[in-house]
Chain A
Amino acid sequence: MATPNKETLLDWYRQMYLIRQFETKCDELYRQKKITGVYLHLYSGHEAVGVGALATLGPTDHVITAYRDHGIALARGVDAKPIMAEMMGKKTGTSGGKGGSMHLASREHNFWGGYAIVGGHLPLAAGIALESRYNGKQDVVISFIGDGATNNGYFHEALNMSAIWDLPVIWIIENNLVGMGTRIEDSSGQVELHKRAVGYGIKDLERVDGQDVMAVYERVAEGVAHARTKGPVLIEAMTYRYKGHGVSDRSYDKRLEDELREWVQNRDPLKIHERYLLDKYKNITTEIKKIEREMDAVVEESVEFALTSPDPTYADLINNVYVE
């Protein structure tokens, strides 16, 4: 595995910064009631997991995730404009305004979507991987899994089926320590979730620091190499959510103020990667600042695009129920 060059390392920072700014803007727009609805699950705090993991994939590989999907869409290279438009329920959104924030997708990026039923996308990941094997391809699927999804039947059934059919799936648990409002130690008998791999006979790639983009990249790359020719792997990325379960959840932050402060101050993925860049390259500050200004503009443009986009109509309400 080649060590990423300066350009790649800066690009990871660019992506993480974009996600952070995008999510901060979504939070703001929600409070201004420009983004409406009851669900908006922000990826702030998780950036290194999505960016590091997806950096290992080629364009013909596949990605699928749960409802905390904005950052995954951005990390896969989907344009911020249709993503923001989907947040606002506009016709120009990734799903034409019919899916909302939890159902972003892009066929051309092989990003198969965000899914809002906990665990519901796991067998879909296995099915997409089955197509790859069935047609003799080498393409792999990265399926992100919230820690909370590891205790319903979908997790069990999908991981087991991926094992018996040697499906090319990299199962990545994003363990942010809490499922909605229930702590991992109150929901799982075995809190080291990667150990579940043993029960299914799939490769256990253990825990990785999900706040360190380089560490995530290296571990997932190992998983991708295994999955392409052999079979599924399970990785547990330790991370933290900065904005609660969703934007309507504020009590959790207060309950765990000290824990949140610790992660934000000492384990923030952007700060960790920025420090890495500053240590490795002299005089890189100017480049970092330039990237930040560019990404600020990308977010602003996405908001402008979404605000000025048309709403879906009655014709949209009734079309695409079936393939005609």
Chain B
Amino acid sequence: MSVKMLPMREALRAALREEMLRDERVFVMGEEVGVWQGTHRVTRGLLDEFGAKRVRDTPISEMAIAGVAVGAAMAGLRPVAEMMTINFAFLAIDAIINHAAKIHYMFDGMFRVPLVIRAASGWGDQATATHSHTAEPIFAHFPGLYVACPATPADGKGMLKTAIRNDNPVLFTESIGLYSKPGPVPDDEDFVLPVGKADIKREGRHCTIVTYARGLEWSLHAADELAKEGIECEVVDMRWLRPLDMATVFESFKKTNHCVVVEESLPFYSFGSEIAAQIQEHMFDYMDAPVKRVTAMDVPLPYARDIELMALPDTSKVVSAVKEVLHV
């Protein structure tokens, strides 16, 4: 299997293209996915290659983008609907949560909704309060939906292909801050990754850092810095917020007895809250310190650059948190 260096957006595009070639039922729909070539350039070239039947530009109608995709999926197609950004998915939250996530259960298995909803997530450069949400934990709250949040281009490709082939609805978020970051990507059309499996991106014995998506970069940088001081962090990239692979976290925690959770999102009712709660419920006998969370601050994001950055997590905040739980 050969490997190519690709930025996240191109790895995602490769996944879409390969799955569209593989399965006639797969099609793309959303705002600006065709003629405009995708707001984040993920769908660039697909309209030319596959035509307007399979690369469908839509009006600015988030409720209908999600809802039409649900209906098409129920009827046997495999839509990949793009929300442009997760901020706009709030307009479609009823179609996603009340319909995509509930229909299989509510009709006791009569219908399936093999649907992927792609959405860019996270803060960009001074995008301000309404355009800076990292809202995937909200969606992970609800049973019936899978939530995928890749951190590397290889994971992006393998997880998107898995999501498209899966018979369940998947909310697939793509960190805005990661679209241009390159990484090695397997050049293999059957490269898929299992649903709900975390990945240990760095091994260590002193502290477990649990993270996902953009938090991985800060966590790995922090682990590099801490290693210079003799502190070895184990970095667990969860990859999926649902299903949530707590078994991998627990195995790591049994070894390190310390945990820091790193996420780009807000602290209240969050990814970090869930990880911390499960550790204290199931790992109490292994705990040497409380779980520490590194998150965005509990404020709407402002425009001005300096105070925007102040509100967000970064490598130094992860370093401080690890030292705090280790009492060093």
A residues near B, CB below 8 A? 62, 94-99, 103, 105-107, 112-113, 115, 117, 120, 122-132, 134-135, 153-154, 157-158, 160-161, 164-165, 316, 319-323
In the complex, A319 Cα to B112 Cα: how many Å? Answer: 14
Q: Does the CB pair A154–B74 fall under 8 Å?
A: no
Note all chain B residues with C-beta closer than 8 A to A94.
Answer: 107
| B111 contacts A157, C-beta separation under 8 Å | no
Residue in B59, B69, B112 whose CB lies within 8 Å of A127:
B69
Within 8 A of A (CB), among B140-184: 143-144, 146, 166-168
| Contact yes or no, A123 B68, CB < 8 A | yes
Rounded to whole Å, the gap between the CB of B249 and the closest CB of chain A is 21
Contact of B75 with A321 in the complex, beta carbons under 8 Å: no
Which residues in B have their C-beta under 8 angstroms from that of A157?
59, 61, 63-64, 67
Q: Which residues of B contact A (CB under 8 A)?
A: 27, 53, 56, 58-59, 61, 63-64, 66-77, 79, 91, 94-95, 98-99, 103-112, 143-144, 146, 166-168
| B58→A127 contact, CB < 8 A | no
Question: When the two chains form the complex, which single residue of A96, A126, A322 contacts B108, counting CB atoms closer than 8 Å?
Answer: A96
Query: What are 10 A-B contacts with C-beta separation under 8 Å?
Result: A95-B110, A117-B94, A123-B64, A123-B71, A126-B68, A134-B27, A157-B64, A161-B58, A320-B108, A323-B104
B104 touches A320 (CB 8 A): yes
For B64, the closest partner residue in chain A by CB is A157
Across-interface contacts of B56 in A (CB, < 8 A): 165
* Among B27, B63, B105, B108: residue with most chain A CB under 10 A: B108
CB distance from B126 to the nearest CB of A (A): 30
* Residue from the list B75, B109, B166, B167 in contact with A319, Cβ < 8 A: B109
Chain B nearest Cβ from A93, distance in angstroms: 8
Which residues from B are CB-within-8-Å of A124? 67-68, 70-71, 74, 99
CB distance from B320 to the nearest CB of A (A): 39
B58 to chain A, nearest CB (A): 7
Contacts of A62 in B (CB 8 A): 75
Minimum C-beta distance from A158 to chain B (A): 5
Contact across chains for A120 and B104 when beta carbons are under 8 A apart: no
Chain B residues whose CB sits within 8 angstroms of the CB of A122 once the complex forms: 67
A98 cross-chain contacts in B, Cβ below 8 A: 105-108
Chain A to chain B: the 3 pairs with minimum beta-carbon distance, closest first: A127-B71, A123-B67, A96-B108
Contact between B167 and A323, CB atoms less than 8 A apart: yes
Bound: A122/B61 CA distance, A: 13
Q: Do A322 and B104 touch across chains, with their CB atoms under 8 A apart? A: yes
From B69, B72, B98, B107, A134 is in contact (CB under 8 Å) with B72
Q: Could you say which residues of chain A place their CB within 8 Å of the CB of B63? A: 123, 153-154, 157-158
Within 8 Å by CB of A112, from B66, B108, B111, B143, lies B111
List residues of chain A with CB within 8 A of the CB of B166: 323
Contacts of B95 in A (CB 8 A): 120, 123
Q: Which single residue of chain A is at the shortest CB-CB distance from B109?
A: A320
Report yes or no: B144 in contact with A322, Cβ–Cβ below 8 A: yes
Q: Using Cβ atoms and an 8 Å threshold, which residues of chain A touch B144?
A: 321-322
Q: Hey, which chain A residues are within 8 Å of B71, CB to CB?
A: 112, 123-131
On whether the beta carbons of A322 and B68 are closer than 8 Å, the reply is: no
In the complex, the chain B residue whose C-beta lies closest to that of A97 is B108
Q: Is the CB of A120 within 8 A of B94?
A: yes
Given known pairs A95-B106, A323-B167, the reply for A161 and B59 (CB within 8 Å) is yes
- Taking a contact as CB atoms under 8 Å apart, the answer to whether A99 and B68 are in contact is no
Contact (Cβ within 8 A) A158 B74: no
| Shortest Cβ distance from residue A52 to the other chain B in the assembled complex, whole angstroms | 24
Q: How far is the CA of A135 from the CA of B75 in the complex (A)?
A: 11
A134 touches B99 (CB 8 A): no
- Least CB distance from A157 to B in Å reads 4
Asked if A95 and B59 make an inter-chain contact with CB atoms under 8 angstroms apart, the answer reads no
Closest partner residue, chain A, to B62 (CB atom): A157
- Closest B residue to A107 by beta carbon equals B110
CA distance A299 to B69 in the complex (A): 37
Report the separation of the CA atoms of residues A109 and B99 in the bound assembly, to the nearest whole angstrom: 20
Of chain A, the residue at the smallest CB distance from B73 is A127
Q: A117–B92 Cα gap in the complex (Å)?
A: 13
- CB of A131 within 8 A of CB of B108, answer no
Alpha-carbon distance between A120 and B105 when the two chains are bound, in angstroms: 17
Distance in Å from the Cβ of A90 to the closest Cβ of chain B?
Answer: 12
Question: A residues within 8 A CB of B66?
Answer: 123
The answer on a CB contact under 8 Å between A127 and B110 is no
Nearest CB of A to B89, in Å: 14
Q: Tell me the complex Cα distance, A238–B98, Å.
A: 29
Residues of B within 8 A of A132 (CB): 75
Contact between chains at B77 and A130 (CB < 8 Å): yes
Contacts of B109 in A (CB 8 A): 96, 319-320, 323
CA distance A302 to B13 in the complex (A): 53
Nearest residue, chain A, Cβ from B58: A161
Q: Check B108–A99 contact: CB distance below 8 A.
A: yes
Closest to A164 in B: B59
Within the assembled complex, what's the spacing in Å between the Cα atoms of A323 and B58? 29
Among A107, A113, A131, A160, contact of B77 (Cβ-Cβ < 8 Å): A131
Contact across chains for B98 and A120 when beta carbons are under 8 A apart? yes
A237 vs B317: C-alpha distance in the bound complex, in angstroms? Answer: 63
A64 shortest CB reach to chain B, Å: 8
Q: Identify the closest chain A residue to B75 (Cβ).
A: A131
Given contacts A95-B110, A161-B64, contact A321 B69 (CB under 8 A): no
Nearest CB in chain A: distance from B250 CB, A: 22
In the bound assembly, the distance between CA atoms of A98 and B107 in angstroms comes to 7
Report how far A98 CA is from B110 CA in the complex, Å. 11
Q: Which residues of A contact B106 (CB under 8 A)?
A: 95, 98-99, 103
The answer to whether B76 touches A158 (Cβ under 8 A) is no
Let me know if B77 and A134 touch, CB within 8 A.
yes
> Which of A115, A131, A323 contacts B72, CB < 8 Å?
A131
Q: Given the complex of chains A and B, what is the CA–CA distance between A311 and B106 in angstroms?
A: 16
Question: Residues of A contacting B112 with CB < 8 Å?
Answer: 323
Known: A117-B98, A123-B95, A131-B72. A321 touches B59 (CB 8 A): no
